[in-house]
Amino acid sequence: MPCPGGQYSAAGAAQCELTMRGHWSIAGDAQPRKCGGASSYCDRAGLDQPKLVDPGFISTPVAGDANERTGQMECPVGSWCSAGIEIKCELGFYSSDLPPEERTNQTICKQCPQFSTTSSVGAYDITQC
């Protein structure tokens, strides 16, 4: 008998183990599968499929293997986020404090007024111009 989804075993149902956070498995898997990249996360043990990162969010933790993400957090201000990845507004651009679900494309980054720029990427307020 195979193990059910969210569990795995090379020895069959008698020795099934829950998949750990950052991993998932379908029925019959002998080994757990890594969660699958920055656009998904596996936040608890025993998942039978990864969860997709919500629009305007990034997968976490950012450091480490992108294939073993275990959570999500709001897109940081000064950035826009797509497929679970943060992209900072470029030099000379800033973004205001929009709700995270609106921080999903580059158009949120507004250009600084004429004859001004930012000191670094990721500016989040016009006063940083």
> How does pLDDT run across 69-123, given as a tens digit for each residue?
999 999 999 999 999 999 999 999 999 888 999 999 999 999 999 999 999 999 9
What would the pLDDT profile of 25-42 be if each residue is shown by its tens digit?
A: 999 999 999 999 999 999
Q: Which residue type occupies 5?
A: G
- Quick count: other Cβ atoms within 10 Å of Cβ 127? 7
pTM of the prediction? Answer: 0.86
Give residue 10's pLDDT band: very low, low, confident or very high (50, 70, 90): confident
User: Tokens in use for 103?
Assistant: 């921080």
User: Tokens in use for 86?
Assistant: 């943060």
Is the pLDDT assigned to residue 43 strictly greater than 80?
A: yes
